[in-house]
Amino acid sequence: MEKVLPDKSGYFGIFGGKFVPETLMSALKELERVYNRAKRDKSFQDELKYYLSEYGGRPTPLYFARNLTKKLGGAKIYLKREDLCHTGAHKINNTLGQALLAKRMGKRRIIAETGAGQHGVATATVSALLGLECEIYMGTEDIKRQSLNVFKMELLGAKVIPVSSGTKTLKDSINETIRDWVANVRTTHYLLGSCVGPHPYPMMVRDFQSVIGKEVKRQILEKEGRLPDYLIACVGGGSNSLGLFHHFYNDAVKFIGVEAAGLGIKSGRHAAPLYVGEIGILHGSKSYVLQDSDGQILPAHSVAPGLDYPGVGPEHSFYKKTGRADYFVVTDKEALQAFHFFSETEGIIPALEPAHALAYLMKIAKDTNKDEIIVLCLSGRGDKDVEIAGALPDRFKAPATIPSSRRIRR
């Protein structure tokens, strides 16, 4: 067994760390201390388990996608149905964990960033549940793209604060949330939504999300009597993918992460820091980022707001550097085609984020053997994206025939 990372300083190899203003250091140390204690505390774990199952709807099914498997003609495809979680995505696994921690720390005010609005809704939800005050920072671009989620957050009693600085998307809503935290750190918990940011966030969020892979392991052994050959998930910050991968780290299972190629890697308008980024420091940790030759962070682009981020979790950077996982990219167009194809094939409308993972699956399924097993994390449902997808011209819609791998690759 290899040692479980990060190390004591929050490093995954050369990635991670705590690159934050001094004002936040005490809060990060407190969080680390409280989290490490809670991790070993049975009463905390029992409470979390209770809420995850009774409130969050866990365990989620590991669904054998019969139609998809048949149409794609390769390996057996299983879908981890995180779209069936309360609030419609895997985000609730982490928000429940962190909100319970915030209560332990006596912090009654919760702040969070949100891109797609999924994490914002999940945060507003647990804040309502546990009686915590909640404010969500959201870029004005994203507010426009995801108005349904804005309405949901307000309905749940949260205040949505528009962020109009910089690119007006996820990156800048994180900046604004950090600024709020710097000013209110004594009374406020920053409920960060992905495996990014300073230590202990990348570790803590991964741990809370690792319930995904833990269930998958048990479920696939029950159904197939063996471990899968491939795990596939989309990667924005990286929480659903790391949640899926974590418990398989020491197993002979291939990890595949799918980043957003946006309008195409060559166009420069994408969100693929692992694929083409360089090492840098953003939002408190060292990882791959999209940056220019002067070290300025570049704006990202993806049709999926949850992937629209120029950075990525440090653990993914470590996986890339060490070769533990392979990373591929999928364009907006390919993801939208997969969105339609999958909805028609399985009767499940996926969020645009996991539609990226599905698009990659469609590309490679033909090259896999029928006796192999693929598990794909269906991290969220697509209700929030219907408006975006509906507004697009017909050429983005599913081809009438089964897509050949050639056609998708074009």
Partner 1 sequence: MVPDQNKSKSMNRIDSKFGELNRKGRKALITFITAGDPDLDTTFELVLEMERKGADVVELGVPFSDPLADGTTIQRASQRALNNKVRLRDILKLVYKLRRKTEIPIVLMSYLNPIYKYGLEEFATTCRKTGVDGVIIPDLVPEEAEEWLTVARLNKLSTIFLAAPTSPLERIKKIASKSTGFLYYVSLTGVTGARDKLNSNIIEALKAIKRITNKPVACGFGISNPQQARKVSRYSDGVIVGSAIIDLIEKSTSRKAILKNVGNFVASLHQKMVGD
Point out which residues bind partner 1 (CB under 8 A): 9, 17-27, 165-166, 171-172, 175, 178-179, 182-186, 278, 280-284, 289, 291, 293-297
> To the nearest whole angstrom, how small is the minimum distance from the Cβ of residue 28 to partner 1?
10
Other Cβ atoms closer than 10 A to 63: 17
**How many other C-beta atoms lie within 10 A of the C-beta of residue 69?**
17
379 assigned to active site: yes
List of residues 6+ apart from 88 with CB closer than 8 A: 118, 121, 351, 380, 381, 383, 384
- Fill in the DSSP letter of residue 169: S
Q: In whole angstroms, how close is the CB of 287 to partner 1 at the nearest point?
A: 11
What minimum distance in Å lies between the beta carbon of 320 and partner 1? 18
Name the 3-class secondary structure at 163.
Answer: strand
Q: 241, 287, 302, 379: which one is catalytic?
A: 379
DSSP string, 296-361: PBPPP--SSGGG--SB--HHHHHHHHHTSEEEEEEEHHHHHHHHHHHHHHHS--B-HHHHHHHHHH
In whole angstroms, give the CA distance from residue 149 to residue 274: 28
Residue among 76, 91, 171, 320 flagged as catalytic: 91
> Among residues 36 and 164, whose Cβ is nearest to partner 1?
164
What is the full DSSP assignment across 180-199? HHHHHTTTEEE---SS-SST
Active-site entry in 32, 113, 176, 259? 113
Task: Tell me the residue length of the chain.
Answer: 410
Considering the complex, state which of residue 282 and residue 376 has its C-beta at the smaller distance from partner 1. 282
Bridge partners (DSSP) of residue 271 are 260
Q: Taking the CA of residue 117 as centre, how many other CA atoms within 13 Å lie in the half-sphere pointing to its CB? A: 29
For the record, the structure tokens of 181 come out as 């935290």
User: Does residue 113 have an active-site annotation?
Assistant: yes
Which of residues 141 and 172 has its CB atom nearest to partner 1 in the complex? 172
Strand partners, 80: 62, 377
The one-letter amino acid code at 99 reads A
Taking alpha carbons only, the member of 391, 402, 266, 406 closest to residue 329 is 266
Question: Residues of 103-122 as b/e, b for ≥16 C-beta within 10 angstroms?
Answer: bbeebeebbbbbbbbbbbbb
Q: Which is nearer to partner 1, 148 or 281 (CB)?
A: 281
**Beta carbon nearer to partner 1, 9 or 43:** 9
Kindly tell me which of 98 and 167 has the beta carbon lying closer to partner 1: 167
The smaller minimum CB distance to partner 1, of residues 182 and 263, is found at: 182
Taking Cα atoms as reference points, which of 320, 352, 360 lies closest to residue 83? 352
CA neighbours closer than 13 Å in the CB half-sphere of residue 315? 33
Which residues are marked as active site?
A: 91, 113, 379
